[in-house]
Amino acid sequence: MARITSFEEYQKEYKKSVDNPEAFWAEQAEQFTWQKKWDTVLKWNFAEPTIEWFAGGKLNITENCLDRHLPEKANQVAYYWEPNNPTEKAVTLTYQQLHQQVCRFANVLKNNGAKKGDRVCIYMPMVPELAIALLACARIGAVHSVVFGGFSASALSGRIQDCDCKLVVTSDGAYRGAKTIPIKAVVDEALEICPGVEKVIVLNRTNTEIKWVEGRDVRWEEEVQKANADCPAEPMDAEDMLFILYTSGSTGKPKGVVHTCGGYMVYTHYSFENVFQYNEGGVYWCTADIGWVTGHSYIVYAPLLAGATSVMFEGVPAYPDAGRFWQVIDKYKVNIFYTAPTAIRALEAMGLDYVKPYKLDSLRVLGSVGEPINEEAWNWYNENIGKGKCPIVDTWWQTETGGILISPLAGITKTKPSFATLPLPGVQPILVDEKGNEIMGNGVEGNLCIKFPWPSIIRTTYGDHERCRQTYFATYLGLYFTGDGCKRDEDGYYRITGRVDDVLNVSGHRLGTAEVESAINMHVDIVESAVVGYPHDIKGQGIYAYVICTNKNKDAETLRKEIMAEVAKAIGPIAKPDKIQIVTGLPKTRSGKIIRRILRKVAEGETNNLGDISTLLDPLVVKEIIAGAIK
Ligand code: WT7
């Protein structure tokens, strides 16, 4: 399928996609292998919501990721795997080898009781077997639920229970920079309260000593030896579930975002081709972790659907030193590099001495994802990494959108620092005011909504469809609400300004304030807490916690450490507050609602213009909070 090659063509395709979305996406879908063609391209109703793309169609996404490229691409590299430690041997997987390993592991899953529709939890480091595990699930129609390896046992067990996983795939340990993390031990702890898990498949990665539960635990390596290498691709309905991925919202526990097979395949592929402009024979590298949606869509599915060659990296940006990304780019002659603003800012802070030793002359396109990229980081990335020659694609999207919705097309859309620019064909953004009225014209700002379904839109939140409706489709009737604020400038370019709900974005990781508060409240001495985000030079947002402590004998430093431990235990180290202020009360309205606006201002260092405080129950509380604010 020819991709867009000029701005005029983009405009033409965009118009086509709005005038006749069904015809537009049907044409895109034609290029794939369907075991049976769809009956209807699209059925939708945002009020319920029901969204069905390619209903009646049968396919298996792995057939499109793997089998479809064989035998032509048998010897082409699918993944160059680069280990955490550069002295360890790298691994290359060709399309043929990947196909074979996926089929073998698919049979391992079957041999261990997994069948179509069963949920399989995957909790692993960034090793090739992680991608293989996802694809093996998809091969047999099992639904994968990947949990990021940085989440705690408590967070893991909550996710396993919520979707009732039958199997867990993990490894003994994980390498992360200089550290070795015993992740099987985390699984063991999580499973103490997950009786539904029948089998745990354990890969050996770090030779870490592990506890062994006879009858439950099996070894990846032994199981693979026993398994057949032939595994037919399970016929899946286009609307059968492909995966669940948990993400945080402004209230309650994280919810399981559900994506289905057909539409997700068509859209992730389309967006990959057009945004990155991948050329046959090129090398593409997305530095995300497969534990997040970026890894699902743009390390596993889309690049394989496109028959691309990717780098998969196990490590972290600053190990063994802050030149690692640039060294890996030179090593594999990476053409397209896709990373997060927080990584760019962290590496920028380390200084150019870590960049200078590397040529970086293979680079053609740079990408950014996960949070707004500030102008300074954009310029640094452009000048020092792209040498002023590589277009930067600032890609805006969400776990719920499955793929990139607003982004420049590399080399085609004129870029502007910190702007995600324009919607992809098939994406119809609108800005609305608080009441849901559309804000027309340019040079405006509002809440970002999408008014028409694209193929990889969220279908439901696992086990609780009403929550999906409430969260995304009930704020503004007839629209999908993103939770983001957004500007549209004089050129009609979109600039995402950040969340307008109580969701934090810390180093590109999404966390709910309520979630962090309930973790803090687990501490015996804390009766109440309020968490807000504040601008952080590297992380984008830092976490500022106001806590009410009942124990007058506890010193602030001890309390701080204990709260950090409590949060790490409930969620994971990524959710640890950066600042904790002990207060005697929180600013509340007479009806008892915390006025977060004031807390946010104080956390930002603002002490004067706190806005209207006349509705406050106890104005003295604000004085105390300002006086004790942590710089
Ligand atoms: C939220 C979604 C998209 C995959 C990784 C994060 C923020 C994401 C951008 C961007 C400004 C961005 C939004 C969004 N965000 N990309 N290019 N510019 N903000 O997925 O965890 O579901 O988070 O990340 O606030 O709503 P996620």
Q: What is the pLDDT of residues 57-72, one digit of tens each?
A: 999 999 999 999 999 9
Give the number of other CB atoms < 10 A from CB of residue 315.
22
- Does 563 fall in a domain? yes
State the pLDDT at residue 150. Answer: 95
Q: Is 396 close to ligand 1, i.e. is its CB under 6 Å away? A: yes
Q: What is the mean pLDDT of residues 536-541?
A: 96
Question: pLDDT tens digit string along 72-103?
Answer: 999 999 999 999 999 999 999 999 999 999 99
CA 567 to chain centre: 21
Give the position, in ligand 1's atom list, of the atom nearest the Cα of 508: 6
Q: Of 399, 300, 287, which is closest to residue 344 (Cα–Cα)?
A: 287
Q: Is 46 within the bounds of a domain?
A: no
Strand stretches in 433-539, DSSP E: 444-450, 460-461, 480-488, 494-499, 503-506, 509-512, 526-536
Q: Is 157 in the pocket of ligand 1 (CB under 6 A)?
A: no
197-245 per-position pLDDT tens digit? 999 999 999 999 999 999 999 999 999 999 999 999 999 999 999 999 9
Q: How far is the CA of 45 from the centre of ligand 1 (A)?
A: 25
Average pLDDT of the residues of the chain: 97
Atom of ligand 1 nearest to the CA of 400: 22
- Would you say residue 547 lies in a domain? yes
- Judge whether residue 479 has pLDDT over 70: yes
* pLDDT confidence tier of residue 610, bands split at 50, 70 and 90: confident
On whether residue 573 sits in a domain, the answer given is yes
CB of residue 289 inside a 6 A radius of ligand 1:
no
Question: Is 69 part of any domain?
Answer: no
Residue of 487, 501, 505, 574 with the most ligand 1 atoms within 8 Å of its CB, for mutation: 505
519 or 614: which leads in pLDDT: 519
Look up the domain containing 534 and give its range: 506-627
Residue 363 lies in a domain: no
Is the CB of residue 401 below 6 angstroms from any atom belonging to ligand 1? no
Q: What is the pLDDT of residues 461-471, one digit of tens each?
A: 999 999 999 99
Rounded to a whole number, what is the distance in angstroms from the first to the last CA of the chain? 55
In a domain, 515, yes or no: yes
Best residue among 298, 398, 427 to mutate for probing ligand 1's pocket (most ligand atoms within 8 Å of CB) is 398
Query: Is residue 535 assigned to a domain?
Result: yes
Residue count (the chain): 631
Give me ligand 1 centre to Cα 499, in Å: 9
pLDDT at 463 (0 to 100): 98
Q: What percent of the chain has pLDDT over 70?
A: 100
Q: Is the pLDDT of residue 258 over 70?
A: yes
Residue 571 belongs to domain with CATH number = 3.30.300.30
Number of domains composing the chain: 1
Give the distance (Å) from ligand 1 centre to CA of residue 540: 12
Residues 400-419 as b or e (16 or more Cβ within 10 Å = b): bbbbbbbbbbbbbbebbbbb
